[in-house]
Amino acid sequence: MRIVKYPPPKRSTVYGGGNLWKTTAVEEIRVQAGNLAQDLLKSLNPIPYAVVENWFAPKPAMLFRQLFDKESSTYTYLIADSQTKEAILIDPVLEQVERDIQILRELGLTLRYCLETHIHADHITATRQLKSLTGCLSIMPENAQTTCADSYIADGKMLHIGNVQIQAIATPGHTDSHMAYLVNNTHLLTGDALFIRGCGRTDFQSGDAGLLYDAVTQKLFTLPDDTLVYPAHDYQGQTVSTIGEEKRWNPRFAGHSRSQFMELMDNLNLPYPKKMSEAVPANQHGGKV
Ligand SMILES: [Fe+2]
């Protein structure tokens, strides 16, 4: 075999001229490319990690909506597991059935339960209507003056909506069977036991100011300060507070002893709710008008 040795190419043929040889030397290009690659990697690092984190981050499990009825200043709460799409309505209002059905439909939710904090005196519950429209079940606090609920929930018991946990906390005083509900240990639905800078009245429906003081100060106020407080009513346009805020600033409780609170509640002299004679018997039958 004959080996032919080719002469090295002329610089001018390959690189286009003797002067460029120095500025575009292979070794130099290799170093420059290496540096460029390092810089690119540094600038890109946060992006892929962020993307990866988002891929594996747990998806928010709870859907939480605060809905308002202007006439009675009532908050209804829609809570759902955003993955299983199961939902519950707490304290639904009869006049808002269409609104509630629409939001359930728009969000693709299946209503499993209607749950009450207590038998209301200022509005009629939508539970009966929602049951016939959706097939959901009604749940009332244990010992509520009603016989038409599908189920009753007792103090400390837990209700599950997919992965969302709702724990009942007996908070008598506004009514004798009133319940607050702690949702996922972060959102506290206080019903009429505790309002933002106020509380529900205690002068009818077996109300008892001393019991309300005990329930709020010994149960609700022992929850972590950052627990969110969502009441069943607000008359000032306030939407949410925290346990820490209410402990410090609620004028009914802050700095008041049990007897001072009882005296204060005994002298509110409030007129009875307009719909009381209609609402209480209707609500004892799940909202039957
Ligand atoms: Fe009430």
Note the pLDDT of residue 42: 60
* Residues 132 and 248 placed together within one structural domain of the fold: yes
Closest CA to 90 of 71, 81, 99, 77: 77
Distance 77 CA to ligand 1 centre (A): 15
Total domain count for the chain? 2
Distance 123 CA to ligand 1 centre (A): 9
Extended beta strands in the chain, E state: 62-69, 74-81, 86-90, 110-115, 137-141, 151-153, 158-161, 164-170, 179-183, 187-191, 228-231, 241-242
Question: What angle, 0 to 180 degrees and rounded to 10, lies between the N-to-C axes of helices 209-218 and 258-266?
Answer: 130
Distance 192 CA to ligand 1 centre (A): 5
CATH number of the domain that 200 lies in?
3.60.15.10
Say what percent of the chain tops pLDDT 70: 81
Which pLDDT tens digit goes with each residue over 164-217?
Answer: 999 999 999 999 999 999 999 999 999 999 999 999 999 988 999 999 999 999
Distance 188 CA to ligand 1 centre (A): 16
Which pLDDT tens digit goes with each residue over 224-276?
Answer: 999 999 999 999 999 999 999 999 999 999 999 999 999 999 999 998 888 88
Note the pLDDT of residue 14: 41
Note the pLDDT of residue 72: 95
Note the pLDDT of residue 15: 43
**Is 201 within the bounds of a domain?**
yes
Which pLDDT tens digit goes with each residue over 16-25?
Answer: 444 444 445 6
Note the pLDDT of residue 32: 77
Q: Report, as an integer, the average pLDDT of 67-89.
A: 97
**Is 204 within the bounds of a domain?**
yes
Distance 163 CA to ligand 1 centre (A): 29
Extended beta strands in 91-192, E state: 110-115, 137-141, 151-153, 158-161, 164-170, 179-183, 187-191
Distance 103 CA to ligand 1 centre (A): 25
Distance 204 CA to ligand 1 centre (A): 10
Note the pLDDT of residue 113: 98
Q: Residues lining ligand 1 (ion), CB within 5 A?
A: 120, 192
Of 37, 56, 75, the residue that ends a domain is 56
Full domain range(s) for residue 21: 11-56
Q: Report, as an integer, the average pLDDT of 151-174.
A: 98
Distance 111 CA to ligand 1 centre (A): 24
